[in-house]
A and B are shown apart, each in its own frame.
Chain A
Amino acid sequence: MSSVQLQVFLQTVIQGFLLGGLYALLGIGMTIIMGVMKIINLAHGELMMVAMYIAFVLFSAFHMDPYLSVVIAAPALFLLGVGIQKYLINPVLKVDSILPENQVILTVGIGMVLVNVATIVFKSDYRQTPVDYSTKAWYLSDFWRTSPIELSLSLPWTVSFVIAVLITGGLWFFLTRTDLGKSIRATAQDQDAAILMGVNVQRVRMITFGLGSALVGAAGCLFIPIYYIYPDIGGQFTLIAFVITILGGLGSTVGAIIGGLILGLFESLTATYIGMGWAPVGRFIIFVAALIFLPGGVASLIRTRKFGK
């Protein structure tokens, strides 16, 4: 492998890793909703789109930095998520019907409404937040002058990745060290037992849906300096989040992080070595392969190999 090839390869891997960190945040939001509520939220990417537009509006009206808008967008999405759970999903869980997949179809309907309202309000133009650091980059040679190979790291990608890692860390702390976090994990493990232990499952469900939405909202704000936005952007991210969830193992947070990283790497590699247009196909090949060869996801591997806990 010549040094140029090596350079391209390393660059691809790093890029995939950074992307994977953001994907992980996206996947965690979906996986905790799935773990607690046992439903697939197909409006996940659309919620992210809402957060991206909140960040966009804050930027264009008040010149607020997209990274700062996490503080506003995430709580806003939390409230939106709680509202959706309370007024739309809960009533459906109660009605009896022939098809049990009604909740999934319901979230599709919610997603359609969100996308369409965004199209009406913001038009389908591609928009972005032109921040001055969006094209800045780090170079390996800045730190290591005699380096034989040259690597570059985009500044916004790095910052987004670091914030994503911080948020994930905060979430981990919340889930393992606080009472509320413990009741969420208890409900995910065994709902009936959680009720018997005095957990208010209704409240936990609402908070979980809100939390999942807030996480994807934060991910949206982190994506903004890198991506452009348009109302339909959500759909692909819903699929990405779902693929990560399957890859990681349903309801497993650690699995979602690993799944996100694997997917990020794989997509980056497909885009470099096969072609940009095929990156989404790579995503689905991973998905199908995971379904067939590793139906329990990475989480099942962790469990059998007794990694970690």
Chain B
Amino acid sequence: MDGAHVVVTGVTKRFPGVLALNEVSADFLPGECHALMGENGAGKSTLGKLLAGLYQPDVGKICLNGQICHFNGPLDAQKAGIGIVHQELLFCENMSVSENLSLGNIPTKFGQVSFSTMKKRALDWLELIGAKVNPDTLVGNLPIAQRQLVQIAGALGSGAKVLIFDEPTSSLGLEETHRLLEIISKLKSDGVTCIYVSHRLDEVFEICNRATVLRDGKLVGTVEIKATTKEQLVSMMIGREVTFEMSGNFTGSQSAPPLLEVNGFSSLGKFSNINLAIRPGEIVGLGGLIGSGRTEVLEALFGLDPAVKGTVKVHGKPVHVHTPVDGLKCRMALSSEDRKRNGLVLSMNCMENISMPILDRLSRFTIIQERKERSVSQKYFERMRVKAPRLTTPSAALSGGNQQKLVLAKWLGTDGEVFLIDEPTRGVDVGAKAEIHNLIRELAAEGKAVLVVSSELPELIAVSHRILILRLGKIAGEVPANLATEELLMKYMTGLAA
């Protein structure tokens, strides 16, 4: 495997109404991992997609080993040796790993598909990166992390010299992220040109040699990672200094009766014997590796797991929550980890999304009172500082951070008291992250009980008053905010501390 020297000079890309890239130049060396960084909308993914042939530049040129390239589509880029590992993974989920890897070039013998050749090819390619994936498994049955490995193997196997990773870790847990980063380091040492599109500073600092920062489609600069600091990079990305503010330890009344009390909460195969109590105004973080049962606990509390056992008390009164309708009645609010799948109806506008759970309250004789709907939604829309031209803007047009705020606005409208927030800032840029953290603190300050799940440890530490760690479905430890460090949490998560 050898890499290629990629040079981008003065590329400009305009979409209707948006100047996505404005005369950006950069170069990517063989054997280096080069980060493309910037806030959402800065143009980093667009640049990645230009290199992969998914878009064509309006102005400017891309050179590969000194030769000017014109990619009319991803196939051209692939032929030239540029592969992309996508944010949204593209696979035929109903087919096996080996079939997917051979989709573009199905081996035949006497006109029939040669499954043995296909399988051998898949094994060879997976071996390139040392991935242990059974080539006969249906891709639909693989976890996301392994699908990514398959994608990388496919790109390398078909001769890629340049690999673009477009936010590869946005849906991976810590362990999987680690494994992926190891593989990228190995590729790097093999001489492959790696381009890493991400806004996760820790990862960039771990594996990247240089970083190119974009802001509003313009080049801010390219820096050597060794010669810079996280703070500097962040200020390059957003043009100002931002550090996560800390919530600190809970300062409310320690003796106040808990708003939410959970005892002996168990669901077979997901989690067992969870006990927790959250006082009004308190933010409790729930950490753990992927598969430790974090999301499952939140969903069960909201009534999405009918098989759950144990007692749940809200304001000291036992409640039985078997459906989300019950959850809503008990004034629980679940902001789920996948806002596009479970949070918003993207075909509806902001107002309609906010009013969705409270239509009964907003209507008289089942007729929606438009004025009331507008004023109530407006209130929470503004309260959560959703940035959109107007209340009736289609929710699909909002950025990830604003969609997340819209989900919170929706639940604020229900008079929720127990906020269950799963991955509050997934795919949200740094500036919006801090804002969402503040909104969560404001919710708590109003006397709500908040339970937050996050895969990002710095976020978990910053936003929570205390942190519970789940490991294999059980609570493995509890850490107050002032003592929480990433190392300590990691130890609990992996079972090194007890």
Q: Is the A/B pair a real complex?
A: no
Could you tell me which B residues sit within 8 Å of A by CB distance?
none
